[in-house]
Structure 1
Amino acid sequence: MYKSIAIIGLSYELPGIRNWSELSRSLKSKGTNIGTLSPGRLQDIYDKYGPVEMDTGGFIDRVDLFDNEYFDVTEREAVKMYPEHRLFLLHALRAFYDAGYTEKDLEGSGTGIFLASGKSQYLSFLDGQYDFFNGLTGIEATRLAKFLDLRGPAVTVNTTCSSSLVALHNACMSLEQRECDMVLTGGVRIGTITKERAGDFAIMSRTGACRPFDKDADGTMNGEGAVCMVLKRLEDAIRDEDPIYATIEGSAVNHGGARISSLTAPSIEAQKEVILKAWENARVDPKDIRFIEAHGTGTILGDPIEFSGISEAFTEKGVTGLTCKISSVKAQIGHLDTLCGLAGLLRVIAALNNKIIPPQANFAVINEHIEETDNVIEVQREPEYWDAGNGIRIGGVSSFGLTGTNVHMVVAHKEEESRLAADSDLYFLQLGAPTPERLSDIKQEISNVLENNRHTNLDALSRKLNRLYNVGKYNEGLSFTDSASLLKGLQQPVAVPEKETIFLLMDLDLQEYDRELIGTIFNENSLIKKCWEDLVGAAYLPERISDDKVTSVLFQYVLYKYLLSIPEGKMQVVTRQGEGILQQLLNNKVRPADIVQDPSLIIDNENSFNRQNFEYYLFKNFRQQRVILVDFSKGRQMQFPDADNVINISGGFERKERFLLYSELLASGRSPLKVPNVPVFLYDAQFPVYKLSRFWPKNVPSANVGQKATEPVEKIDKGVLTLAEIEARLKPIWKKLLEIEGDIAADDDFFEQGGDSLAGLDLLGQLNKEFKKNLIIYEEMFSYSTFGGLCGVLHDRLTGITVMPKLQAPVSANVAEKATGTVAVVKESEDATFRENKYKALLDTIQQSGALARITHGDILITGSTGFIGSFLVKRILDSTDANIICMARDKKGQRAEERFWSVFNESFGISAHERIRVVNADITDENLLSDKESRELLKNVTTVYHAAGSPAFVGNPNLQEHISFKGTKRIFDWALSNKIKSFNHISTIGITGNGLPEHIESFYETDLNMGQNVENYVHSATKLMAEEYINAHRSPDMGVNIFRIPNAGGRYDDGFTLLHMESNLMYMKLRRICKAGCYSDEFLEHNLNFRIVPVDMLIKVVCELSFYQHKHLSTFHLPFEKGFTMPEIIDAFIKNGIKLTKLDNNDFREYMRKWEENSEEYSVKLIKYGIYDKVRGRNYKIKTDATRLTLEKIKEPVAYDRLTYLKNVVSYCLKEGFLNTDTSLSPNFINQ
């Protein structure tokens, strides 16, 4: 290592150590935190395994807590997540916050993750319900990277005990090589062991105590914890004013090689060499090293080897006399296995900062195999002041893996003067959160910090929190003079403004700003400083301008631009008649550089200001609003004592006035303040503040405790289970999946009780395993979603009664009969020839018609703009038209609509802002959709609507009238009608054809709609069909309406990129299951997987091109994309991407698949199984799309792309994202021997 690496952020929880104060106290203590598991954790074990005796160790109290809402994780998924993964997310984000970096700062950055990860015991609590994703080693790093959009390397390490320091070493190398500019390293270790099992391990203490270097040492103790650290190159951390705990000056990693006497034996020579190499890399003089945190496991032979290795390293460098002290934290907290290295480093960091050499706990007499007399090192007996000498303290930490991998780190801390500002007479704090409850929790955490430390530096507190918290849905600004006034403000309830706030910028007079005030504001608020840099330029910083008047005018101009940029239309300028220098600057008639070069251009506007007219304007237009006058006038400011809705704030921007303005801007939902990073830590403060809840499976006692299956398989096979027996079997499965207590009634609905499509898959997987048969298919879940209905169909099928899903009647026949341009429900007596001839006549009309007229657009409104389809729709229209685009989105889970849209758009296309795109916050299901004044003003020039909002869920709540795909369509279409929109484009689905038509229907044409098709099992199809019916029944002759029935959208053509949640997308899950199976056969190659996806960009290109023309003869387009992919094509795409599947003969393949299915809890395994059903339900009709094809030919828009190249790109992207894996080795347990 050639450059120092700064440790700038920490978050941790160790046994008995949850914050900096407890960590600091532990440095002086010789006591330990070894004990029994907490009562709650013991109870979880007893509930599962009975009253087993557990060994003591260093344990953390709660491993079941998580804030699923903060991390956008469902409750069900949170239970499935391993507790190690949950704790890693919590501490990783807190480490970033400790360093001064929030989610917004990190989004899209090249930040890396280097993780130490081991095995989890949690699977044993999940009743064997193995989850592929959570079982992947290092998936917690992927979760964090996805949540924060981190794009640097994400690397997982396991070298047993040395894992975390190896991960840290690799992180430092990555920074050194500039693979990334910031890194998070860390991990979580949780593990318990029974008393009986502990006795089987030679390294475990029999006496219940870890005694490193002591004569009575007999082994180590189990330990748990979580540690996360944020790192940066030191030069960058200093530049960015990051807080710095310590610096890593050098490190080294090696292995004992052939020098070890056995696979798990340590080597003195190897340990000595790794220390020497670390010193060499750090370029330190060993005589300056005063303390080393030893690996110190407390074994009778391991400790002497480590002691000798350290001693010989010093001796080889010519060091004489007592120089360095050693001790090990393992005596206090236990052995944290993969995490023990970072736990040791954390102790060194605390020791450096507290200037204490920590003593060895559980130490009395030196190990007889250690020669400590006249040695250069010794075991530290008592806490001792750590003298800095030249102002720098240097220490080290070692970690030696059971696998033979050794690591040593050199760590330093330099004493520096505080960079905090002097005490002030007034401070400001901005706070924001997505809900009032979370804002209250933040205020309570700040109160706790103040109450526990009355000497808290208020400058550090306010600057740090202003850095971490910005605008949310609920906001509060607090001005305070001391801790008492801040505590009083924090104890007030969260205030929600009752009236809309309007800001009036009173541009009346030139102000005078002194340079010290300008410098203070620049240091306080980087938004204002950036305005200066963007508008005036770095060449004309205030210190480079000699003329004070020029500096003041430019600063006032910058303040105007800052204010006008924040409230999005709610800041209005009031000025005198005529044009002064500020108006000329705002209107770009004069440039800032012009007045720097020629100060004579500065002319104040001396025209009189008609106050009487202003008052009339003010009280006529803003009686119902709160009005904030930002008053840039000289002398006496305007006051309105009789108007309690008007507040005057001086434009002089002194501290009290600008803090009041910050508060008002914040309360109106705008972010007024962005603070540069602050080189301080808030010790004992834990941000962000989480709302922690328990997530743990409802444990059923393990079969190992003595329970046996009560029903033999033969009884199922013979089909003699009674309905009551089926109910008894289904009830615990139902209750466990939905996590509900109490009894289940026959009419209880799976989806109304909290089930979703993924839960439905799991339910079917459990049913198939319970009854040893595939009795029901995924699509039937909606037909039999009640407990009684599901039990009934299971009973009927077990007893041999054939039960087919019911054929749905037309969704809304009375609506369909009114439909314009569609064929209503066809009766069996109607002549198919008549329908065919009518369709042929339509084709002839399209063929013979002239060229289509292109539409001229005004503004364009797009719904669903944060969705996969919607975002690509926005991009295509942006590239293909000159229109302004208004994107409808809604606030969601604490993220504002505008932030949501630009986050998605930036991820997809690398665009984070565009002058032609505006975002309107609206919920498409709202009864008063877009009816507020601000929305009406924004949308007044809209002539075209693209409606892409909706949900693709295939199963769900049976109340279809309330489903977003229908209700949202009704709301936006009604709005379009009332606002006389000229063109309405609705994105529908080819799935409206459902799962079968009446037998007499041979063809389904684009002009068809409700033909009596079966859509009962498909929520998406049913609601889209209803939406089409509504549009056709209510459309106006003056409105052009286009309906686009699209197929399944897949990733982008060129690179396979997708925003789809692949883990819950049936098409992508089919790919994964084929890959995970790892094999195929000739028979399987003939299987119709029905895998059909279309490149989203190609799909949207066709939709847009059709929508740009006026269509007189056809308004519904059933997009004629090519057929799905065959099994041979999928296998070939796998091979081209390095995924090699094993070919088995047909019998072996069938047997392998049978065993795989039996041993898997995931129903999605069945998504690729073939030959399950005795009767294959083939489609009995043809879909005709000739009219759409002819129209595309008319506009010269062919539907063409290289299918196989696209499939290869999709597979490649899935590999890149870790969704597919090139390791496709077959499980030996499933192969015939």
Structure 2
Amino acid sequence: MRQRESEPTHIAVIGLACRFPGARDSDEFWRNLIAGKDSVTRVNGPQGVAARGLLEDPERFDAAYFGVSPREARLINPQHRLFLECAVEALENAGHDPARHPGAVGVYAGSSENAYAYILKAQRARLPSVSDWEIRVANGSDFLCSRVGYKLGLRGPTVAVQAACATSLVAVHLAVQGLVNGDCDLALAGGVTVRLPTVPDTPSAGGIQAPDGVCRAFDADARGVVAGDGAGIVVLKRLAEALADGDRVDAVIRGSAVNNDGPGRIGFTAPGIDGQAAVIEKAHRAAGVDAESCTYVEAHGTGTPLGDPVEIAALTKAFRRSTDRRGFCGIGSVKTNIGHTDAAAGAAGLIKTVLALKHGVIPPSLHFTTSNPEIDFEASPFRVVVRAQEWLPEGMPRRAGVSSFSLGGTNAHVVLEQAPARPDAGRPERPWHVLPLSAQTPSALAIATGSLAEHLRADPGTEIADVAWTLQTGRPEHSCRRFAVVSGPSDAVRVLAGEHPGRLVTAERKTRSRPVTFRFPELTDPCGEQSVWARLYETEPAFRSAADECGARDVFRSGGEPAPLIAFAASYALAR
């Protein structure tokens, strides 16, 4: 198949955020994955092992940040609260302030069904002034995305997606289409699941839950599903624009597809080989790649005796259209780490794979010893990745597929590729950088300051110019503010810790935006200060461009230019 290296349909993943069992952010999630950590909570009981991947404090919500009253916060579904917080974190991770983004920002996502609305109605005696309508608006899945749009000031499409277990990967597919079609210029896509009550689930007779509380995807001892809670969001942008704008690109979505099994299966809740194989082939065609170029697949991998063999059979059928090779493609399932997060499951698999592409390492899939006897791995292109391994395909970029299949027959598949190498464009060497920080409260400002210092301490190779740029352009401007003047990462750690008080300035009171007027003073000796102007002209592109606008291209290098022109050009360029 023809390899298309640059297409308008290629979409960049430029940011992400998540909350999964054992992980409050993507960095912790990645550490857990690489370590092969099982984050499912289990409790032994008379009916078997009660198990679920649980979140830490899923009920907590920073209501004041979003201007939500305590009364309204109590009514809003925990899934909506969690998703709203993750949306803010994802945009910050991407380095985009929605208030200053010039284009339309869309939201495509879905949530699971939970009992929160019923809990509220059961407590009506404690909520005498609350109407059924308020409970409906605060809990309806229809309002998950539109609440994000309202609270963050987004004007692109806000599309609620409901496709059972495939919800969040279908949302990613729709977001990709929205970007390709021009419905939005930046898109958030994902899903959230918080089941209530937040306790491990007890297996029931005749149910699909694993009685031992362990997800053993593809293993001979696989006996069922293990549930999990979580939320995941990716921030997407057209690849060409992301590269042109200097965004960090974690991975590239080359293509995606969605379909349904239709009636070709043994029952409504059963999977179908033909439908799954068809959606994978369609995604490969959309991506313009051969199956043989995909060296990892993040499978749906629920750990059921029926579903796992069907999935491998479908993958094999799709791959055999273009290759006869065996065992070249790694396979795994994040459900072995955190459980099946339902509406967030596709996002969990996608984020795991994006991080693997970014770091060049495939994390292990857990609890696999002997393959399910219904799966013939020896004759297939696949092998279960049982320990972390470097991902270094020979002569081609890292490329992967991510699958998500739902009860009811909806199938989704996404083809991902590692980010393209960026040419070294070079940058001016500046001795000093300004790091602005803002928050809604003094305590939050202190936490943000400490978090930035910790980030720079943990990664001393960080490019401080990039940090300064992101803080200046990619963060919301809140009313509690401070700034640090620093020369590099290690210096920034000391300044942010308060070791140089003169270079860490905090506003004494809350600030507000005001119009700015520049007054150009008369320079006492403009010609004598030419060495200063020359350094600024060489190191600051904005200064240089503004000086050139004044027709003063050589004014700071030659001594023959009139002083008034030097004075005006310097003041104008400083203001710009």
- Do the two structures share a fold, i.e. TM-score over 0.5? yes
Counterparts of 1:436 and 1:244, CA distance in 2: 33
What's the counterpart of residue 299 of structure 2? 294
1:157 and 1:54, CA in 2 relative to 1: closer, same or farther beyond 3 A? farther
Counterparts of 2:243 and 2:262, CA distance in 1: 40
> Cα distance, 1:2 vs. partner?
6.2
- From 117, 123, 130, the equivalent of 2:117 is 123
> Cα distance, 1:240 vs. partner?
1.6
What's the counterpart of residue 1199 of structure 1? none
1:330-345 paired onto structure 2 within 5 Å: 330-345=335-350
Contact 1:292-1:395 within 8 A present in 2 as well = yes
> Cα distance, 1:421 vs. partner?
4.8
Letter paired with 2:407: L
Deviations 1:607-644 (A, max 9, x none): xxxxxxxxxxxxxxxxxxxxxxxx9699xxxxxxxxxx
What's the counterpart of residue 746 of structure 1? none
Letter paired with 2:34: K
What's the counterpart of residue 162 of structure 2? 158
1:470 and 1:322, CA in 2 relative to 1: closer, same or farther beyond 3 A? closer
What's the counterpart of residue 105 of structure 1? 100
What's the counterpart of residue 83 of structure 1? 78
Counterparts of 1:407 and 1:476, CA distance in 2: 46
1:991-1006 paired onto structure 2 within 5 Å: none
Counterparts of 2:248 and 2:163, CA distance in 1: 31
* Structure 2 runs not aligned, ≥5 long: 1-6, 125-131
Q: Which has the higher contact order (CA 8 A, sep 6+)?
A: 2
1:458 aligns with 2:468: no
Counterparts of 1:137 and 1:502, CA distance in 2: 47
Contact 1:286-1:319 within 8 A present in 2 as well = no
Counterparts of 1:506 and 1:369, CA distance in 2: 82
Counterparts of 1:472 and 1:287, CA distance in 2: 50
1:586-985 paired onto structure 2 within 5 Å: 603-605=562-564
1:356 and 1:62, CA in 2 relative to 1: closer, same or farther beyond 3 A? same
Contact 1:433-1:473 within 8 A present in 2 as well = yes
1:452 and 1:549, CA in 2 relative to 1: closer, same or farther beyond 3 A? closer
1:282 aligns with 2:287: yes
What's the counterpart of residue 10 of structure 2? 4
1:159 and 1:360, CA in 2 relative to 1: closer, same or farther beyond 3 A? same
1:181 and 1:296, CA in 2 relative to 1: closer, same or farther beyond 3 A? same
What's the counterpart of residue 39 of structure 2? 33
Letter paired with 2:413: H
- From 170, 173, 178, the equivalent of 1:174 is 178
Contact 2:12-2:238 within 8 A present in 1 as well = yes
Letter paired with 2:155: R
Counterparts of 2:274 and 2:143, CA distance in 1: 36
Counterparts of 1:605 and 1:178, CA distance in 2: 49
What's the counterpart of residue 491 of structure 1? 497
Contact 2:284-2:291 within 8 A present in 1 as well = yes
> Cα distance, 1:438 vs. partner?
3.2
Contact 2:483-2:506 within 8 A present in 1 as well = no
SS, match of residue 100 in structure 2? helix
> Cα distance, 1:53 vs. partner?
11
1:506 aligns with 2:521: yes
**Number of residue pairs the alignment of both structures matches:** 540
Counterparts of 1:315 and 1:496, CA distance in 2: 64
Contact 2:453-2:496 within 8 A present in 1 as well = yes
1:42-57 paired onto structure 2 within 5 Å: 55-57=50-52
Counterparts of 2:476 and 2:19, CA distance in 1: 27
Letter paired with 2:85: L
1:518 aligns with 2:537: yes
Counterparts of 1:418 and 1:66, CA distance in 2: 42
Letter paired with 1:409: V
Contact 1:2-1:281 within 8 A present in 2 as well = no
1:196 and 1:138, CA in 2 relative to 1: closer, same or farther beyond 3 A? closer
Letter paired with 1:264: T
> Cα distance, 1:519 vs. partner?
6.1
- From 222, 225, 237, the equivalent of 1:220 is 225
Counterparts of 2:22 and 2:563, CA distance in 1: 67
Letter paired with 1:115: A
1:137 aligns with 2:110: no
Letter paired with 2:443: E
Counterparts of 2:483 and 2:238, CA distance in 1: 35
Counterparts of 1:228 and 1:289, CA distance in 2: 24
Counterparts of 1:423 and 1:603, CA distance in 2: 29
> Cα distance, 1:463 vs. partner?
2.6
1:381 aligns with 2:400: no
Contact 1:10-1:229 within 8 A present in 2 as well = yes
What's the counterpart of residue 129 of structure 2? none
1:212 and 1:70, CA in 2 relative to 1: closer, same or farther beyond 3 A? same
Contact 2:146-2:159 within 8 A present in 1 as well = no
Counterparts of 1:477 and 1:217, CA distance in 2: 55
* Structure 1 runs not aligned, ≥5 long: 38-51, 554-599, 607-630, 635-649, 659-671, 674-1233
Counterparts of 1:293 and 1:632, CA distance in 2: 62
SS, match of residue 507 in structure 1? coil
Contact 2:65-2:440 within 8 A present in 1 as well = no
> Cα distance, 1:424 vs. partner?
5.5
> Cα distance, 1:366 vs. partner?
0.6
Letter paired with 1:467: T
SS, match of residue 238 in structure 1? helix
Contact 1:55-1:195 within 8 A present in 2 as well = yes
> Cα distance, 1:327 vs. partner?
0.7
Counterparts of 1:451 and 1:166, CA distance in 2: 38
Deviations 1:557-599 (A, max 9, x none): xxxxxxxxxxxxxxxxxxxxxxxxxxxxxxxxxxxxxxxxxxx
> Cα distance, 1:422 vs. partner?
7.9
SS, match of residue 262 in structure 1? coil
> Cα distance, 1:243 vs. partner?
1.2
Letter paired with 2:188: L
Bigger mean CA offset, 225-234 vs 189-198: 189-198
SS, match of residue 248 in structure 2? coil
Contact 1:53-1:195 within 8 A present in 2 as well = no
Deviations 1:16-49 (A, max 9, x none): 2233433333343333111159xxxxxxxxxxxx
Counterparts of 1:436 and 1:245, CA distance in 2: 33
What's the counterpart of residue 334 of structure 2? 329
1:18 aligns with 2:24: yes
> Cα distance, 1:127 vs. partner?
4.6
Counterparts of 1:135 and 1:155, CA distance in 2: 16
Letter paired with 2:167: S
SS, match of residue 105 in structure 1? coil
1:436 and 1:389, CA in 2 relative to 1: closer, same or farther beyond 3 A? same
Contact 1:14-1:60 within 8 A present in 2 as well = yes
1:541 and 1:300, CA in 2 relative to 1: closer, same or farther beyond 3 A? farther
Counterparts of 1:496 and 1:381, CA distance in 2: 53
Structure of higher CA gyration radius: 1
Contact 1:391-1:414 within 8 A present in 2 as well = no
Counterparts of 1:171 and 1:470, CA distance in 2: 24
Deviations 1:738-772 (A, max 9, x none): xxxxxxxxxxxxxxxxxxxxxxxxxxxxxxxxxxx
> Cα distance, 1:521 vs. partner?
2.2
1:188 aligns with 2:192: yes
1:230-249 paired onto structure 2 within 5 Å: 230-249=235-254
What's the counterpart of residue 445 of structure 2? 439
Counterparts of 2:200 and 2:19, CA distance in 1: 25
1:396 and 1:489, CA in 2 relative to 1: closer, same or farther beyond 3 A? same
Counterparts of 1:20 and 1:145, CA distance in 2: 23
What's the counterpart of residue 128 of structure 2? none
What's the counterpart of residue 313 of structure 2? 308
What's the counterpart of residue 1037 of structure 1? none
1:405 aligns with 2:395: no
> Cα distance, 1:134 vs. partner?
1.2
Contact 2:49-2:202 within 8 A present in 1 as well = no
Contact 2:430-2:539 within 8 A present in 1 as well = no
What's the counterpart of residue 62 of structure 2? 67
